[in-house]
Structure 1
Amino acid sequence: MTLFDHLVIAFYFAFMVAVGVVFRRFVTDVSDYFRSGGKVLWWMVGSSAFMVSFSAWTFTGAVSKAYADGWPVMTIYVANAVGFLLDALYFAPRFRQLRVITAVEAIRLRFGTVSEQVFTWLQIPLGVLNAGIWLNAIGVFFAAVFGIDPRLTIVVTGLVVLLIALSGGSWAVLASDFMQALILMVVCAAVLAHTLARIGGPAAFAAVVPPGHLDLGQVFTRDFLGLWCLAMLVKQIHTTNNLYDAVRYLCVKDSRHARWAGWLGAALFLVGIALWFLPPMIARTLLPELGTRFPQLAHPEEAAYIAIAREVLPVGMMGLLASAIFAATMSSMDSGLNKNAGVFVKNFYQPWLRPQATDAHLLRVGKLATLAMGVLIVATALEMNELRGLGLFRLMQRVGILIGVPVVVPLFLGLLVKRTPPWSAWSTVLIGFASSLVFSRLLTPDWAVRTFGLEGVLDSAEREYWTQSAQFFANLLTAGTWFLLTRLFWPQTSGADRARIEGFFQRMHTPVDFEREEGPTAARDREQSLAVGWLAVAYGTFIVLLAAIPNPPAGRLTFLASGAVVAAIGGWLIRAAPRPPANDGERA
């Protein structure tokens, strides 16, 4: 990267810290800090929900599959879009209608205090582990591709995320996610446009990429690919629509805005599929020897997106792309950090240690918990170098299947099936973990070859298709069956538990009337629209100024167009901000 690229990255980090400072004044209590008081507009929640649904792994591990095999990896992201569509159609409004500060509070309402503590102490370490994996992965990747010390990347990225979450809490997290979504999509659109221009335009795409990369018939001809696609669809629906991940909609203003946020998330994923995966598919033909370009990478195909971007982008734009890749990880980290700190404070510290604590005290403890978990995530990432041997694609998918699936099954089914006893959730997790241990050893690719009488030897992709899909469906069927069987014990459920569960479902199905519940002056529509709008205008102006970097006319035009789009969206938010009441104009 050039000096210009490094300056762009430095500005990006400074800008993200500034976002946290801007939204510091929005935080007045614990509800503001952990769920923005339930006052956020749909466009900020939808973009944040979109951003936290993936990490930099998309630009490394997932891209490597698009480079090597073509379309199958897109299944995961189509499934994400389907999950968001289900949010818009059903789940998102109901999540907001739970009217809780943390998702684990909703778990307590549905399954009781024992399940509350089980999921608290499952999710906090799992959240730290996942964030450590993401942070370590981006450190290792940037070290190999750009020659940046991985420890420096880990520490700086972790510090910036921590500052964002500490300063402005959930408000700053959501605003930074919106800005990062803008940057990400605009830069990726530039990569796609320049890549298509390099091959002669969109019409040449089908002729350039390897034929197998677009062959949908592989579902019927390649061993276990169809099974894997189905597994990914069902898996992402569960991981998008469950009680714990309901946290993404707890902060939205009302039921209507929650539904719109779901529509926005689905649309962004559908657009993202083209932006993220068409360039590496083209790179397979234009840059067939990534191993010689990146000999230091154990899996050179993980650099496919960076490689094609280097080939086509103007000077300075790689800094924006690096910022976008940072954004993909930072958005997942800051949301997870804020979420886990909220769970610790509201679901352990307050009920068990300080039941009479004041709101101001809980806010201080929340910031201390955020600081402690941020430091722990950075320390975890610094100690994870031994995980480099397993490709990022396999690592993330296996962690999600072996650990994540047993956790989300009861939190998904618990929204749809009412008459299960309180212990149905934590017992399902135990059964799911046990099935993970058993089936990961039994349902091997070699077992599949013997059992199904397959001819020949499975290639590495087919072995991975079988491993992931078999383990997923084994976990899903075992855990799901157990959860449904617990309905047999509903008659033994106490009257108090039945009343609590009935109250949970009644609350979940009661639409939010914001003005009646929060008060006519509680909304912060104008303030958030103006704050984010001016931030977008500022960053868009910065991108426009990058057109001064020495580049061919097409390169300068790319900066002008990209900056104009970001600034225009900011201008739209400013223009759309509600006018203040006549007697409150001075506050505007």
Structure 2
Amino acid sequence: VLQLFDVPELFGLSYTQSLWLVVWVVGIIGAIYAIFGGLRAVAVSDTLNGIGLVFVGFLVPVLGFITLGDGNLLQGMKTIATVQPEKLNAIGSSTDAVPFFSIFTGILFANLFYWSLNQYVIQRVLGAKDLKEGQKGVLMTGFLKLLVPIFMLIPGIIAYHLYGNTLTSGDLSYPQLITELLPVSLMGFFLAVLLGAVFSSFNSLLNSIATLFVLDIYQPVFAKEASDEHLIRVSKWFGTIVALISFVIAPFLMYAPDGLWSLIRQFTGFFNIPILVIVLMGIFMKRIPAIAAKIVIVFHVFAYYLFVFGFKQLFGWDHGISYIHGYGILLVIEVLFMVFMGYRYPAVQSKKVNRRQSVELIPWKFAIPVSILLCTSIIWTYVLFSKIGLASTAGIVSMWFWPVTLGLAIATIVLWRVSLNAWETKYRIYLEEEYRQAE
């Protein structure tokens, strides 16, 4: 917004003052319909914003390719694939902010927490009418996630080829592309979609944190017999307070030394791994004592601080290990500790959970097959953006690209058929009952 409308010049303000102005204006608008509209307003707005984001997400790189190729779309695509193709390599080295192997040591677990345990994300799934619809929504979102390289990374590479090193910051590349490539008639639409994306994240977070506070803290501790109307009223007040606090904090994030993404990842590391460990061990080991979970949470906060910040700040020692690897290291330590506590000091009696069958819990027939397709698509995306694929110096792609693609396709077909047969075998009785009802 600052770049597209040149807010500092428009209002005669400094960059910092303009940032504060935009944060408060955008935040207040988003908070109003998140707090008073509830989850339904968030879900409806997210759907509309998502459609707009997909449209603009494809439009920007297409226009960029056409501009880069002097009016020829294919020529523009060829340019980024043959001129400095190493910039298309997604396989990060050990010196990058996100080393490639951190996918298997830390990113995997961070994303497992984000997609499976984060109320901010799963509240949509919990609102599905049954298990099948929830699974369909999650899997569709997974495929949309595969579009991120097209929507976010490719425009940055196009900007590099168009503007070189004239941009003072990489954060300015996307606004520069929008300003120069989009016709005036689409600028308003793009702004609406951009603000919608901002609202989507902010509104979902407000709705989520208000829900957690009211149901997990306020009601159990202070108002066990409170009515739904009272809880909703409290959640609105709490959401308003959180929104005001976020308005004050948000402008200071521009001073993040390694970028906002890295800062968020670093600070979410204080809670994502211990929560994941506790939930996983609760699923697989029923006799772990409650004290083990409490110890893990306290231990992780201090150990993670030392690993990421403490050793360097307190002792002047830089171990040179990425904080993302720290996720995996601490996860292993905490899992082993909880397993030890489960065997050495087992809980006397596991708490029995009474499940309310308020929705149908028969899984979607194609949940596992589509999951397999999604996994192989992720692998293929990494192959595409690697030295085997578009980052190859031997041409547009290397000689290994098509055999690897064929192998992934065959593996997908085989696993699809096997998983489908397994589902039909497991739920044969359910299928026979459906068939009889249909008759």
Q: What TM-score do you get using the length of structure 1 for normalisation?
A: 0.52
The separation in 2 between residues aligned to 1:322 and 1:148, in whole angstroms, is 21
In structure 1, the residue matched to 2:110 is: 235
- Identical residues among aligned pairs (%): 21
In structure 2, the residue matched to 1:479 is: 334
In structure 2, the residue matched to 1:124 is: none
Contact 1:188/1:321 (CA < 8 Å) preserved in 2?
Answer: no
1:440-519 aligned within 5 A: 440=308, 441-442=310-311, 447-448=319-320, 466-489=321-344, 491=346, 493-495=347-349, 498-500=350-352, 503=353, 507=355, 512-513=359-360
Contact 1:218/1:225 (CA < 8 Å) preserved in 2?
Answer: yes
In structure 1, the residue matched to 2:215 is: 346
Q: CA distance change for structure 1 residues 243 and 225 in 2, over 3 Å: closer, same or farther?
A: closer
The separation in 2 between residues aligned to 1:206 and 1:351, in whole angstroms, is 61
Q: Which runs of 5+ in 2 are unaligned?
A: 362-439
Contact 1:255/1:511 (CA < 8 Å) preserved in 2?
Answer: no
The separation in 1 between residues aligned to 2:96 and 2:249, in whole angstroms, is 39
The separation in 1 between residues aligned to 2:335 and 2:166, in whole angstroms, is 43
Contact 1:243/1:412 (CA < 8 Å) preserved in 2?
Answer: no
In structure 1, the residue matched to 2:140 is: 264
Shift in Å, 1:323: 3.3
Shift in Å, 1:211: 2.0
Of 14, 36, 40 in structure 2, the residue corresponding to residue 171 of structure 1 is 40
Q: CA distance change for structure 1 residues 218 and 164 in 2, over 3 Å: closer, same or farther?
A: closer
The separation in 1 between residues aligned to 2:274 and 2:84, in whole angstroms, is 38
Contact 1:166/1:370 (CA < 8 Å) preserved in 2?
Answer: yes
In structure 2, the residue matched to 1:191 is: 60
1:516-527 aligned within 5 A: none
The separation in 1 between residues aligned to 2:95 and 2:214, in whole angstroms, is 52
The separation in 1 between residues aligned to 2:287 and 2:94, in whole angstroms, is 40
The separation in 1 between residues aligned to 2:337 and 2:166, in whole angstroms, is 47
Contact 1:439/1:474 (CA < 8 Å) preserved in 2?
Answer: no
Shift in Å, 1:364: 2.0
What are the Cα deviations for residues 169-210 of structure 1, in whole angstroms up to 9, with x where unaligned? 111111111111122111121112111222332464253252
Of 434, 443, 459 in structure 1, the residue corresponding to residue 302 of structure 2 is 434
The separation in 2 between residues aligned to 1:144 and 1:187, in whole angstroms, is 30
Q: CA distance change for structure 1 residues 281 and 290 in 2, over 3 Å: closer, same or farther?
A: same
Q: What TM-score do you get using the length of structure 2 for normalisation?
A: 0.68
Shift in Å, 1:398: 1.6
Shift in Å, 1:148: 7.9
Q: Which has the higher helix share?
A: 1
In structure 2, the residue matched to 1:360 is: 229
The separation in 2 between residues aligned to 1:144 and 1:391, in whole angstroms, is 24
Q: CA distance change for structure 1 residues 437 and 360 in 2, over 3 Å: closer, same or farther?
A: closer
Hey, which bits of structure 1, 4+ residues long, moved more than 4 A?
143-148, 216-224, 441-446
The separation in 2 between residues aligned to 1:511 and 1:354, in whole angstroms, is 25
Give, as a single letter, the amino acid of the residue that structure 1 aligns with 2:172.
Answer: A
Give, as a single letter, the amino acid of the residue that structure 1 aligns with 2:327.
Answer: F
CA RMSD, aligned part only? 3.6
Q: CA distance change for structure 1 residues 397 and 350 in 2, over 3 Å: closer, same or farther?
A: closer
1:112-151 aligned within 5 A: 149-151=18-20
Shift in Å, 1:367: 2.0
Contact 1:435/1:474 (CA < 8 Å) preserved in 2?
Answer: no
The separation in 1 between residues aligned to 2:91 and 2:213, in whole angstroms, is 48
Give, as a single letter, the amino acid of the residue that structure 1 aligns with 2:144.
Answer: L
1:212 aligns with 2:64: no
1:182 aligns with 2:58: no
1:401 aligns with 2:269: yes
2:146 alignment partner, SS class: helix
What are the Cα deviations for residues 280-323 of structure 1, in whole angstroms up to 9, with x where unaligned? 112222111244xx5xxxxx111222222223211143343333
Q: CA distance change for structure 1 residues 276 and 234 in 2, over 3 Å: closer, same or farther?
A: same
Contact 1:241/1:412 (CA < 8 Å) preserved in 2?
Answer: no
In structure 1, the residue matched to 2:149 is: 273
Give, as a single letter, the amino acid of the residue that structure 1 aligns with 2:215.
Answer: K
1:391 aligns with 2:259: yes
Contact 1:421/1:489 (CA < 8 Å) preserved in 2?
Answer: no
What are the Cα deviations for residues 233-271 of structure 1, in whole angstroms up to 9, with x where unaligned? 342123212264543322111111111111111111112
The separation in 2 between residues aligned to 1:355 and 1:223, in whole angstroms, is 47
The separation in 1 between residues aligned to 2:247 and 2:193, in whole angstroms, is 20
The separation in 1 between residues aligned to 2:115 and 2:213, in whole angstroms, is 22
The separation in 2 between residues aligned to 1:485 and 1:144, in whole angstroms, is 60
The separation in 2 between residues aligned to 1:378 and 1:415, in whole angstroms, is 38
Contact 2:219/2:226 (CA < 8 Å) preserved in 1?
Answer: yes
Shift in Å, 1:147: 9.2
Q: CA distance change for structure 1 residues 469 and 388 in 2, over 3 Å: closer, same or farther?
A: closer
Of 126, 146, 170 in structure 2, the residue corresponding to residue 250 of structure 1 is 126
In structure 1, the residue matched to 2:282 is: 414
The separation in 1 between residues aligned to 2:299 and 2:260, in whole angstroms, is 27
The separation in 1 between residues aligned to 2:17 and 2:231, in whole angstroms, is 39
2:269 alignment partner, SS class: helix
Contact 1:287/1:308 (CA < 8 Å) preserved in 2?
Answer: no
The separation in 2 between residues aligned to 1:484 and 1:144, in whole angstroms, is 58
Contact 2:277/2:334 (CA < 8 Å) preserved in 1?
Answer: yes
The separation in 2 between residues aligned to 1:226 and 1:272, in whole angstroms, is 17
What are the Cα deviations for residues 60-114 of structure 1, in whole angstroms up to 9, with x where unaligned? xxxxxxxxxxxxxxxxxxxxxxxxxxxxxxxxxxxxxxxxxxxxxxxxxxxxxxx
Give, as a single letter, the amino acid of the residue that structure 1 aligns with 2:146.
Answer: L
Q: CA distance change for structure 1 residues 243 and 179 in 2, over 3 Å: closer, same or farther?
A: closer
1:236 alignment partner, SS class: helix
In structure 2, the residue matched to 1:308 is: 177
In structure 2, the residue matched to 1:23 is: none
The separation in 2 between residues aligned to 1:217 and 1:339, in whole angstroms, is 34
Give, as a single letter, the amino acid of the residue that structure 2 aligns with 1:210.
Answer: Q
* Higher Rg: 2
The separation in 1 between residues aligned to 2:36 and 2:259, in whole angstroms, is 35
Q: CA distance change for structure 1 residues 447 and 358 in 2, over 3 Å: closer, same or farther?
A: closer
Give, as a single letter, the amino acid of the residue that structure 1 aligns with 2:294.
Answer: W
Contact 1:406/1:476 (CA < 8 Å) preserved in 2?
Answer: yes
Contact 2:109/2:328 (CA < 8 Å) preserved in 1?
Answer: no
Give, as a single letter, the amino acid of the residue that structure 1 aligns with 2:84.
Answer: P
Aligned length: 345
Shift in Å, 1:418: 3.3
